[in-house]
Amino acid sequence: MAKQKGKAAPAARQEMTGLERLGLRVSSMINHPTAQHQRWVTIHRLDTDGDQEWEEVMGLLSETDDLEMTFNDDESVTLRWEARSDEDRVLEVADLGEVEEPAPF
C-alpha cells in the first residue's frame, strides 16, 4: 500500500465572469503607460464580449467624470481624458503608526 503525501487537494479554480474579464481588460488598457501618456485609448469589442457585459462596462464608464466617450462605427469606443493638475491628484499617505507584518513566505 502506497503512502499518501500530505498534500491537500488543489483548490478548485474559480472562473472569471464575462463582466470581470471585460472590466479587467478595459482597466488594463486605460492604465497602460502609453494610454496614460497620450490620454486616450480605443477599446475594441471582442466576439467574446456579451451584450449585457459590454453595456454594463460602458454604462460605468459613462458615469465617470472628465471622461469623453466616442462610439465608433466598428463598435469600438474611444476614451479621452484630460491630464489632472497637481491640485486634482489624489495622494495616498501611509499611516506611519501602523507596522506591517512581514509576508509569510
pLDDT of 2 over the 70 cut: no
pLDDT tens readout for residues 35-74: 999 999 999 999 999 999 999 999 999 999 999 999 999 9
pLDDT of residue 91: 47
Answering whether pTM is above 0.75, one says no
Mind listing the domains of the chain with CATH numbers? Answer: 18-81 (3.90.1070)
pLDDT of 7 over the 50 cut: yes
Q: How far is CA 18 from CA 23, 34, 64, in A?
A: 8, 26, 21
pLDDT of 105 over the 80 cut: no
Phi, psi for 66 (deg, rounded to 5): 65, 25
Q: How many whole angstroms separate alpha carbon 94 and alpha carbon 92?
A: 6
Confidence of residue 103 (pLDDT cuts 50, 70, 90): low
Confidence of residue 16 (pLDDT cuts 50, 70, 90): confident
Cell of 28: 488594463
Question: What strand order describes the sheet that includes 77-81?
Answer: 40-43, 77-81, 67-71
